[in-house]
Structure formats: C-alpha cells, structure tokens
Chain A
Amino acid sequence: MIARADPRQGRTRVLAPAARATAVVALLLAPGALLHAQDDLAARVAGVQARLAAIEQRADRVADVNAIENLQRSYGYYLDKMLWEHVVDLFSDAATMEIGTSGVYVGKDSIRRYLYSLSGGVEGPLEGVLYDHFQLQPVVTVADDGRTAKGRWRALIMTGTYGSGSGGNWGEGPYENEYVKENGVWKISKLHWYATFYVPYEGGWLNSSPDAVRAYSEGRGVTPDRPQSEQYAPYPAAFVPPFHYPNPVSGR
C-alpha cells in the first residue's frame, strides 16, 4: 500500500531501473489515490456530522419533554404551598391562566393578582389549610421546531380547612396546557384546567355541585381579563375536553 511506503528505503540503496520506474509511476498515481482516500474520508466525516445533528435533535426532544414534565410538576409543588411568586415565575410574559370557571387571566401581573386573591393576599402555606394538587399522567407533545409544546395532564386535588365540618374536598380534572421555550428555558404559556369535579370529602362524587367548582376556582375580588374560554359544566354533566394529540396508534 502507498500509505505504508517506507521513505527510508531510498536512503539505503539506489533503486534498480524497474523499481525506479515503479516508484515514478507510484508517485504519479499516488496523488490520485490520496485524493480519492481523502474524498472517501470527507464523505464519512460528513456522514458522521449529519448523524450527530440528527441525534442532537432527538436528544433535545427527550430533554424538552423531561424539562416540561419537571416544569408542570414544579407548578403543582409550588401551588400546594401557595408559593405564588414561584408559580408566577413559571409563566412566560404573555401567558394565560384559566382554572375551572375562573375566566382567563392574561400576563404575569394578572396571574399574580388572581393567585394572591385565593389566599387572602398572603404567600405561603396557611395553618389548617390543605391545598394539595397532584400533577399526573402527562402526554407532552413538542412541536417539530422545538420552540413550543402542548401537554395534557390531570390534577388530583385534596383540599381542606381543618375542623370546619365538611371542609375537606376531593377535586379532579385534566389540563390542556401550552409551553414555550425562551432563551433555552421552558415556560408555561397557557395553563387551562378543566374541572371534572370538586366535591366534599363526605359522600365524595356521589353528589357534585357546580357551585363547589366555582367556589374553588374563581378569584376573590378580582376580575379576569377575558371570560371563560369554553362553556361547560362539571360532573354530573359529561364533557370531553379536546385532546391536543391524535390517537397515538390510529393517528385519528
């Protein structure tokens, strides 16, 4: 092989005419072979670069879904403890928030006003108040360009006011949320929780009243920027909040 030619060979002896001719031919042919080898190598490097780019994109999608799942779960953990400033920090500037029959709050300031109204204007967990919001069952879909995403989740809610008779409640319902990636950070751009039910601990969902959903979800002494985006009634009415994704097998 040309690549294994020993340059010291010429120093040890003068070549015989036949060898000399071979060497000359080899010298003439070598650049072609070398160029060919370089072309081949360049093609393989280009192939490696393309495969790397594809892998980077796929790894980004996995990382995006993980980040969005952490984001939404963090929302629940902050909400549990009424850490309103932390909740607000999770939203993009132009984000919207709508909980049950609350109507739509637009932008961080409005969202902040709404949240503080739920706790009488204070931040942080309150003595005697249980406000747990489990964030469960994510189906997260990242847009092809990796800049926005949608997610269906559900909240299982346990709330309570200690010692006040029927102060305990179960709540449940799905979210259809949207997310945006800004400067590499995923934020909530739209949070929409559909109430399936909100019922007293005593008797559970045997009897359910829309009044309880209103009492749970509506701001106190604050007005939303827009009315409720979809009219529906919670259990016992049947309502199917739209799915942002098609059937994962049939594609319908």
Chain B
Amino acid sequence: MGKRSYMSRGRRAAALAIGGSIVVGAALFGGLLAQEPDSVTRVAALEAKLTALEREIVLLEDTKAIKRLQRAYGYYADKKLAGEIGALFAENGTAEIGGLGVFVGKSRITELYDFLLGDGLADGELANHIILQGVVDVAPDGNTAKGRWRALIQLGQHGETAVWSEGPYENEYVKEDGVWKFSKLHWYMTVAAPYDPGWHRAQIPLADPSPELPPDRPPSETYQSYPSAYLPMYHYDNPVSGRKAGGTP
C-alpha cells in the first residue's frame, strides 16, 4: 500500500473498490486459468502418445498385410495362376527361383511363372507350395520390408512323378499407394528329390538358366542343392545376440 499517502480518502476508497474487484476478478480467472495450462499440457501429451500408437499400429498392419501377400502367393502357385502371381509384384520388381537367373519387371516375372508353372492347373498336375515360418521385418520408415519364409513343395504328374522340394525365401517388399507388393522374390532351393526313393537316395539338381527363357540377369548367387551344403544369407541379425549369420546379401 505504498501509494496510499498520495491519495485522498475518497479516491483511496474508490481505488480500493476497483482494486478489490480486480483482485476478486483476477482471483476467479486465476482459478479458471490455472487449470488451463494443465489441460493443455495433458492434451499435448495425449496427442504425442497417440502419434506413437498410430505409428505402432501401422507397423502391425504392415506385417499382417505382408504375411497375407506371401501366403496368397503360395495359394496361387498351388493352382499355377501365373498371372495372379505376376500381379503381386511392383513394376520394377525382381524374381529369382532356384538357378534360373533374375527376372526383372512384372511382365518378365509373369513369363517366368508361366514357364515354371504354366497358367492354370491341369488335370493330373500337383503343384502345392506350402508357405511357412515367416520372419518379417518392416523398415522403420514403413515403406519397405524384408521377409524370410520357407516353401515345402509337393509336385506331381499323376502316375509319372511325385516330388518333394524345400527351401527358404529371402524376399523384399515395398508399399506403394498403401499396398504392399513384392519388390524382390528370391527362392533358394535346398533340396528336390523324387518322393520315392526319397531325398536320402536321389536328387533333382538345381536347374541352370534356361535357353528357352533367358533371364535378364544371371543368377545372383552360385550354389548347388542337397546333398551339397549352402548357407543363404539371413536378412536379419540374431534377434537375441544381434550377430549376423549366413553369406552376403
């Protein structure tokens, strides 16, 4: 009250009245406003958490979509639907099956599957591609992914051949306009053998690039199937130790 001595009683009373109402008003506002920064902070924290959750759920949805894509691929291969398989690739995707070399682009990839499978399962043919054991890793930016899978394959020409085959994929995927596609498919043949007498007594060797359908690029890796031993690269580090395994990508 340092200014009291400069004022008359009347002015002092008026000033006190005004000051009093300011005090009361400000106190009321202060009460209201004191909650304001707190609410703002809490909403901002919620918004930040939501943004993190939205990123997490996108990664879960991405993994789900990639697994669906890879499994759908297998169901189409079962029925030799080369056109449906070609449609699963990005425009500039690549495909490499066993030792046939690298095929680049959707139309060449469709040609490859047409060559391998034909278009449409005919009577007397069996082409089961059982797709198993996905290890899928989506890149932090959510635009690309890699996956290791395996195919257990049952092939047959009724009354003539029955064949087992097995081997891993190291594949890559790309998200374009919200849709996951194959950007790279690479199947390594571990083993192929006639059902009878079995893989311990007979082998079907890895095929070389075919003169009938030359690849766009030679095989990216040179190896032989069982009984030879080969170690395809792993796209992922050991999930516990973090160490790398396998050859070079």
Residues of A within 8 A of B (CB): 2-3, 5-7, 9-16, 20, 23-24, 27, 30, 34, 37-38, 41, 44-45, 47-48, 51-52, 55, 58-59, 61-62, 65, 136-139, 152, 154, 156, 172, 174, 196-197, 202-208, 235-238, 240, 243, 245, 247-250, 252
Contact A137 B75 (CB under 8 A): yes
Partner of B87, one of A12, A24, A249: A249
Identity of the chain B residue whose Cβ is nearest the Cβ of A57 in the assembled complex: B57
A11 B23 Cβ-Cβ under 8 A? yes
Find chain A residues with CB under 8 A from B15 CB: 14-15, 20
Q: Does the CB pair A55–B57 fall under 8 Å? A: yes
Contact with A along B111-137 (1 / 0, CB 8 A): 000000000111111101011100000
From B16, B71, B195, contact of A138 by CB (8 A): B71
Give the chain A neighbours of B1 by CB distance below 8 A: 12-14
B12 is an interface residue with CB less than 8 A from chain A: yes
B69 at the interface (CB under 8 A from A): yes
Residues of B within 8 A of A27 (CB): 22, 25-26, 29
**With A58-B57, A205-B195, A206-B161 in contact, is A235–B156 under 8 Å at CB?**
yes
Interface string of B18-30 (1 = CB under 8 A from A): 1110110111011
Residue of A nearest to B65 (CB): A248
**Min distance, Cβ B169 to any Cβ of chain A, angstroms:** 14
A137:B123 contact, CB within 8 angstroms: no
10 CB contacts below 8 A, A to B, read A3-B37, A14-B4, A48-B50, A174-B78, A197-B126, A203-B195, A235-B158, A236-B124, A236-B126, A247-B88
Taking CB atoms, residues of chain A closer than 8 Å to B36 are 3, 34, 37-38, 41
Which residues of chain B are within 8 angstroms of A24 by Cβ–Cβ distance? 18, 22
A41:B40 contact, CB within 8 angstroms: yes
Across the interface, do A51 and B54 meet the contact criterion of CB distance under 8 Å?
A: yes
Residue pair A10, B23 in contact (C-beta under 8 Å): yes
Q: Are the CB atoms of A238 and B3 closer together than 8 Å?
A: no
Of A41, A139, A206, the residue contacting B75 (CB under 8 A) is A139
CB distance from A53 to the nearest CB of B (A): 11
A173 to B: closest C-beta gap in Å = 9
Further pairs besides A205-B158, A238-B79: 9, Cβ < 8 Å: A139-B68, A152-B75, A205-B154, A238-B123, A240-B79, A245-B72, A248-B68, A249-B180, A250-B87
Smallest CB separation, A202 vs chain B (Å): 8
Residues from chain B with Cβ under 8 Å of A205 in the complex? 126, 154, 156, 158, 162, 195
B interface SS class? helix
Task: Let me know if B57 and A62 touch, CB within 8 A.
Answer: yes
Q: Are B47 and A44 in contact (CB under 8 A)?
A: yes
In the bound assembly, the distance between CA atoms of A197 and B162 in angstroms comes to 12
Q: Are B7 and A139 in contact (CB under 8 A)?
A: no
Contact A204 B125 (CB under 8 A): no
* Closest B residue, CB atoms, query A201: B195
Residues in chain A near residue B33, CB distance under 8 A = 2-3, 5, 34
Answer whether residue B84 sits at the interface, using C-beta atoms and an 8 A cutoff.
Answer: yes
Residue pair B30, A5 in contact (C-beta under 8 Å): yes
CB nearest to A238 among chain B residues: B121
B139 within 8 A of A: no
Given A14-B1, A205-B162: A247 and B84 interface contact (C-beta under 8 Å): yes
Q: Is the CB of A7 within 8 A of B54?
A: no
A34 touches which one: B32, B39, B88, B121 (CB < 8 A)? Answer: B32
Contacts A58-B57, A205-B154, A238-B121: A137 and B30 contacting too (C-beta < 8 A)? no
Residues on the A chain within 8 Å of B37, using CB: 3
Nearest-Cβ distance from residue B243 to partner chain A, whole angstroms: 30
Contacts of B126 in A (CB 8 A): 196-197, 205, 235-236
In the complex, what residue of chain A is closest to B23 when comparing beta carbons? A10
List the A residue with the shortest CB-CB distance to B87. A250
Across the interface, name the chain B residue whose C-beta is closest to A138: B71
Residues A139 and B72 in contact, CB atoms below 8 Å apart:
yes
